[in-house]
Amino acid sequence: MKTLTVQEAAVLLHLNAKRVQTLARSGRLPAVRVGRKWLFERERIESLLGASRNPRPATAITISARNRLRGRIERLTLDGLMAEVTLRIGDQELVSVITRSSAERMNLSEGDEVYAVIKSTEVMIGREEA
C-alpha cells in the first residue's frame, strides 16, 4: 500500500495543502492521522478522481446550453496553469482558454472531436468596414 503525505495528496488532487488537511480533518477525504501528520492511501485518493484501474465507460450527459458547436482540436497549447484549445469548426476557428488541469483530466489531444459549449448573456455583432 502506497501512502501519500499532505503535499503529495495536494498535488494529485490539484488542491492547496491546507484544503487537503481541512478535508481530512472533517472526514470528507479518507486519511489517517499519525501523530501530527496526515497520511493518505494513494489508491483511495485515485479512486476519488476516477483514476481506477478499471475505469467506467463514458456516459452521455444532457446540458441546458443550446449553443453547442462540434469541432476538431486543431492545436492544443499547454502553458503553465492554462491550456489554449483551437477548434476547427467547418471553415472557422474557435479558440478557448481553459485550465490545464481540465485539459489533462479530459485527456485532450490534437485531432480529438469535441464540443464547444457557449453560454453567455451577451452577443456582440461586428461588421467589416467598407
- What tens digit of pLDDT does each residue of 22-57 get? 999 998 899 999 998 999 999 888 888 775 445 555
Across the chain, mean pLDDT equals 85
CA distance 47 to 53: 9
pLDDT given at position 86: 95
Q: How confident is the model at residue 118 (pLDDT cuts 50, 70, 90)?
A: confident
Residue (of 54, 22, 24, 18) closest to 40 by Cα position: 24
C-alpha cell at 89: 469548426
For residue 24, the 8-state DSSP code is H
C-alpha cell at 43: 489508491
Lowest-confidence region among 35-39, 74-78, 93-97, 125-129 = 125-129
pLDDT at residue 83 tops 90: yes
User: Which residues does 71 contact at the CB level (< 8 Å), separation at least 6?
Assistant: 87, 88, 89, 94, 113, 114, 115, 116
Lowest-confidence region among 56-60, 92-96, 109-113, 122-126 = 56-60
